Structure 1
Amino acid sequence: QQQQQPLSPASAVRQWGHLLAPFEQCEMLSFEQVWFVGKPTETGGAELNHGYDDSRGDYITVPGDHIAFRYEIIGGLGRGSFGQASLGVLRCQDHAIGQAVALKIIRNKKRFQKQAAVEASILAVLREQDPDDSVNIVRTYSSFTFRQAKLGHLCITFELLSINLYEYIKACNFQGSSLVMIRRVAQQVVATLRFLFRLNIVHCDLKPENILLRERGKTTVKVIDFGSSCYVDQRLWLRSRPMQVILGLPYGPPIDMWSLGCILAELLTGQPIFPAGEDEKEQLACIMELLGPPPRSLLETAPRANLFFDSGTWAPLACPPNSRGKTHRPSSRLSYPPTFLQRCLHWEPQQRMTPEEALQHPWI
Structure 2
Amino acid sequence: METQRVVDFPHRSMDKRPRKRPRLTWDIPPVLPPPAPPKIPPTVYCGQEFGAVPNYGYSSIYYNGVPGNVSPPWRPDDKDGHYVFAIGENLTPRYRILSKMGEGTFGQVLECLDNERKEIVAIKVVRSIQKYREAAMIEIDVLQKLAKYDNCGTRCVQIRNWFDYRNHICIVFEKLGPSLYDFLRKNSYRSFPIDLVREFCRQLLESVAFMHDLRLIHTDLKPENILLVSSEYIKVLDYKLIFSPSLKFLSRSGKNGSYFKNLPKSSAIKLIDFGSTTFEHQDHSYVVSTRHYRAPEVIFGLGWNYPCDMWSVGCIIVELCSGEALFQTHENLEHLAMMEKVLGPLPQHMIMRADHRAEKYFRRSARLDWPEGATSRDSIKAVWKLPRLQNLIMQHVDHSAGDLIDLLQGLLRYDPANGSRQEKL
Q: What TM-score bracket applies, with the shorter chain setting the length? A: 0.7 to 0.9
2:75 corresponds to 1:51:
yes
Where does residue 165 of structure 2 map in the other structure? Answer: 146
Structure 1 residues 165 and 74, CA, compared in 2 at 3 Å: closer, same or farther?
same
Number of positions where the alignment pairs a residue of Structure 1 with one of Structure 2: 307
Task: Determine if contact 2:197/2:321 at 8 Å carries over to the other structure.
Answer: yes
Identity of aligned residues (%): 30
What is the letter of the counterpart of residue 266 of structure 2? Answer: K
| 1:327-342 equivalence runs, <5 A | 327=380, 335-337=388-390, 338-342=405-409
- Alpha-carbon deviation of 1:120? 0.7
Structure 1 residues 64 and 251, CA, compared in 2 at 3 Å: closer, same or farther?
same
Q: Which of 290, 293, 297 is the matching residue for 1:244?
A: 297
| 1:1-364 equivalence runs, <5 A | 19=58, 36-37=69-70, 51-80=75-104, 83=105, 86-134=106-154, 136-147=155-166, 152-215=167-230, 216=232, 217-235=265-283, 238=288, 240-241=290-291, 242=294, 243-277=296-330, 279-303=331-355, 304-310=357-363, 312-319=364-371, 320-322=373-375, 325-327=378-380, 335-337=388-390, 338-351=405-418, 353-354=420-421, 357-358=423-424
Structure 1 residues 351 and 330, CA, compared in 2 at 3 Å: closer, same or farther?
farther
Two-structure CA RMSD over aligned residues (Å): 2.6
Aligned equivalents of 1:196 and 1:113: distance in 2?
Answer: 23
Where does residue 13 of structure 1 map in the other structure? Answer: none
What is the letter of the counterpart of residue 189 of structure 2? Answer: F
Aligned equivalents of 1:352 and 1:270: distance in 2?
Answer: 29
Residue 144 of structure 1: SS of its match in structure 2? strand
Structure 1 residues 323 and 120, CA, compared in 2 at 3 Å: closer, same or farther?
farther
- Alpha-carbon deviation of 1:19? 5.0
- Alpha-carbon deviation of 1:130? 1.4
Residue 315 of structure 2: SS of its match in structure 1? helix
TM-score when normalising by structure 2: 0.67
Task: Point out where structure 2 has 5 or more consecutive residues left out of the alignment.
Answer: 1-36, 38-56, 60-66, 233-264, 391-404
Structure 1 residues 111 and 224, CA, compared in 2 at 3 Å: closer, same or farther?
same
Structure 1 residues 161 and 63, CA, compared in 2 at 3 Å: closer, same or farther?
same
Task: Determine if contact 2:125/2:170 at 8 Å carries over to the other structure.
Answer: yes
- Alpha-carbon deviation of 1:77? 1.3
Task: Determine if contact 1:288/1:329 at 8 Å carries over to the other structure.
Answer: no
Task: Determine if contact 1:254/1:354 at 8 Å carries over to the other structure.
Answer: yes
- Alpha-carbon deviation of 1:75? 1.1
Task: Point out where structure 1 has 5 or more consecutive residues left out of the alignment.
Answer: 3-17, 21-33, 42-49, 360-364
Report Cα offsets for 1:82-114 as digits up to 9, x if no partner. x3xx31111111111101000001111111111
- Alpha-carbon deviation of 1:354? 4.9
Aligned equivalents of 1:353 and 1:214: distance in 2?
Answer: 31
- Alpha-carbon deviation of 1:175? 2.8
Report Cα offsets for 1:147-199 as digits up to 9, x if no partner. 1xxxx111101110111101222244323121110110011011111111111
